[in-house]
Amino acid sequence: MKTAVVTPTSQVEKLKLHMSEKGVTHAEEIRADIPGVRIGEGVYAEGVTALQKIAGKAPESAPIFFCNIAELNIRKILKKGDGGAIPDQAVIRGLNVETAGRFDLINARIFSNGSINVIVDEETAVVPMR
């Protein structure tokens, strides 16, 4: 299982641009579809042994890329923003996939306070793109 992580090459500016285009501001919380994110090949942390990998005891982190998303589809505004600028940094939580590839995140929770937080929870569907 690969756990998606934001890296310096994730192109967070693309996510920020699409949020801005939809009028999302700092401190806003929404539910939205993010189509076409890409999850790269996974890597293990330094020091993980082969036995830990085989036993599935070591999490594999994989970079997420926002470069191919076309636009956000806002489903619901949970909390209005304060009109401030959206942060430049992002984090993703709860996105775990079996293999690298492109995915649509349907009904992800997004809030922008300190950083852009993309949360994949029990209300979110992760759909592989064909």
Listed residue (52, 62, 47) closest to 1, CA to CA: 62
Residue 51 is inside which H or E element, if any? helix 50-54
User: What confidence tier does 116 reach under pLDDT thresholds 50, 70, 90?
Assistant: very high
pTM: 0.87
What would the pLDDT profile of 13-39 be if each residue is shown by its tens digit?
A: 999 999 999 999 999 999 999 999 999
Q: Which residue has the tokens 């922008």?
A: 112
What size, in residues, is the chain? 130
What are the residue boundaries of the structural domains of the chain, listed by start? 2-128
Give the DSSP per-residue string, 111-126. Answer: EESSSEEEE--TT-EE
